[in-house]
Amino acid sequence: MPFVWQAAAQPVLGADPGMWDSVDVLNPSVFRFKDSLWNLYSGFDGKNWGTGAATSTDGSTWKKLGRVLSGAGEAGQGSNGSALVENGEILYWYVAGDPPGIALARSKDGLTFEESPKLAVSPGPRGSFDERGAADPYVIRRGEYFYLFFLGQDRARRQTLGVARSRDGVTWEKLRTNPVLELGGRDSFDENGLGEPAVWSSGGSYWMLYTGRDRAEHRRLGLARSNDGVHWEREPGFTAVGGEQAWDKMVVCDPTVLVDGDTVRVWFGGGDVPNPVANIHGQIGYATLRGK
């Protein structure tokens, strides 16, 4: 097993009663910006999703700055995104629309975002792996290209993972190898769906933490490996990560990562109710992956 998972016992970011994120706090996207750690996370109030911002000096204690993008309905509008800083500007790809696609917003301060008028990544054509939706983006930069890893849903509601690339972050080309990771086998932790990939490079390989769902809607994190970022295989010997505490005992999902030397810092969503979309009492936790 290439990494050892160690999670903090308590969540680091939770819901605020009566506020826009009163029911679920999930989908963190953590990045470095202006000498601080920033977190663009998703909040749900029982009806609507949105994206909020929080800052931290250590990644464990967070100060909420309020909602920065709003949406409507459980389709995930205005939420479930991935942030990257380019030339002093935050680029934030997030889920919008019904059927869902992936949109882009930009910000110079982390609080005010300019949204693009059209989707950056739309659902695919008839018969494609993402015909019924493209969601859960995670973007990395390698050389001259951005690479966007995402969930695709086909007409049978199967959810698998794909990748697209772009030179500017606006116009994307889906790769012909999609999907790059298929459903797991019968009775596996990811037999009912894949989502929420988080990708980084370490030790000459690309690595992907992703969320797997079983038939009972329990969610755990799996690990896949690639030599080129395009062709992926599940990492043998890595046991899917489930919750060990009361607050995340049914759901561990939504990873985001920062590489710090030999340690991969991970923020993730967790919940104690196995629902597929929302109302899981979602909170955000913190863990590390350390190489053996």
Taking the whole predicted model, whether its pTM rises above 0.85 is answered as yes
CB 41 within 8 A of CB 25: yes
Residue 18 reports pLDDT greater than 80 = yes
Closest CA to 266 of 285, 240, 244: 285
Closest CA to 42 of 280, 287, 289, 288: 280
Distance between alpha carbon 120 and the CA centroid of its chain, in Å? 17
Sequence-ordered alpha helix ranges (H) in 112-225: none
Question: pLDDT band at 291, cuts 50/70/90?
Answer: confident
Please give the pLDDT value at position 203.
85
Mean pLDDT of all residues in 151-170: 97
The domain spanning residue 209 has which CATH number? 2.115.10.20
First CA to last CA across the chain, in angstroms?
8
Residue located via tokens 């506020």: 19
Mean pLDDT of all residues in 82-103: 96
Query: How far is Cα 86 from Cα 140, in angstroms, rounded to an integer?
Result: 11
Number of separate domains in the chain: 1
Question: pLDDT band at 2, cuts 50/70/90?
Answer: confident
For residue 162, give every residue at least 6 positions away whose Cβ sits within 8 Å of its Cβ, in sequence order, or none: 129, 130, 134, 149, 150, 151, 152, 174, 175, 178, 179, 180
Distance between alpha carbon 288 and the CA centroid of its chain, in Å? 16
Helical (H) or strand (E) element with 266: strand 263-271
Closest CA to 26 of 190, 267, 223, 290: 267
Q: Which range marks the domain in which residue 246 is found?
A: 3-291
Residue 254 token pair: 């939504």
Please give the pLDDT value at position 74.
46
